[in-house]
């Protein structure tokens, strides 16, 4: 199918995770999201709850264990439950990278399962921070996320100095989960071309703060790519 700007907006989590965000800045961001026509925004849990008038029809994604993933498993579960009670619709949790790198898969699954239990019925994404992991570690983390009941695996927080989303990581994640989970690409995605490349590699959701610039890339005349359609989540 042809990937259009409208298709992208439907699967974009328009993101504001800047530390120190003020209430006026949040309202400005929400206004931009509504003008762009995205379905969801991703914001810090400390900004919840959100004024329903400012939110409109937007759904809220928030983050747990962010950005290091080094929080204890019970803290992550508590964060998730509290965020859902405050109005979040989806949770993006950062996995404990030390456990992943050590291959302690039972502990990785238990951590994810704890957050899964804390937000039943809501979409749960597991952030792997793929730029810090080997291919084998990425595969193992994807398998643990699936076994623990996650809905998506996600490349990056966007805060790691090691880097963000890459075509290689997305392709590896998509091959591992085989369409059973979604794949969210995030971190350093700033152009329409980058979106199309990651979509072709298997991304089914995007975490982006440069949403307006990406849409402008389509409107400025960049040709849409004709790609095989990935699963819809």
* Strand, coil or helix: 141: helix
Cα angle 20-22-24, degrees, rounded to a multiple of 5: 155
Cα(17)–Cα(157) distance, integer angstroms? 9
Cα(132)–Cα(161) distance, integer angstroms? 9
With contact defined as beta carbons under 8 Å apart, do 120 and 113 qualify? no
The region, left, alpha or beta by phi > 0 then psi within -120 to 50, assigned to residue 113 is: alpha
Give the side-chain half-sphere CA count within 13 A for 96. 23
Catalytic sites, residue numbers: 92, 154, 184
């Amino acid at each position: 199918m042809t990937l259009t700007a409208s298709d992208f907006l439907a699967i974009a989590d328009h993101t504001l995770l800047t530390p120190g965000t003020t209430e006026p800045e949040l309202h400005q961001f929400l206004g931009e999201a509504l003008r762009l026509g995205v379905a969801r925004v991703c914001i810090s849990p400390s900004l919840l709850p959100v004024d329903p008038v400012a939110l409109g029809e937007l759904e809220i994604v928030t983050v747990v264990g962010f950005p290091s993933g080094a929080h204890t498993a019970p803290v992550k579960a508590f964060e998730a439950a509290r965020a859902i009670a405050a109005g979040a619709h989806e949770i993006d949790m950062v996995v404990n990278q030390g456990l992943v790198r050590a291959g302690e898969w039972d502990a990785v699954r238990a951590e994810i399962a704890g957050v899964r239990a804390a937000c039943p019925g809501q979409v749960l994404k597991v952030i792997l921070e793929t730029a810090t992991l080997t291919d084998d570690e990425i595969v193992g983390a994807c398998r643990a996320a699936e076994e623990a009941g996650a809905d998506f695996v996600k490349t990056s927080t966007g805060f790691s100095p090691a880097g963000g989303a890459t075509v290689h990581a997305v392709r590896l994640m998509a091959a591992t989960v085989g369409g059973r989970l979604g794949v969210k690409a995030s971190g350093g995605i700033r152009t329409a071309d980058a979106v199309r490349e990651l979509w072709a590699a298997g991304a089914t959701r995007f975490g982006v703060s440069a949403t307006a610039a990406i849409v402008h890339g389509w409107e400025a005349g960049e040709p849409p790519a004709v790609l095989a359609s990935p699963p819809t989540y």
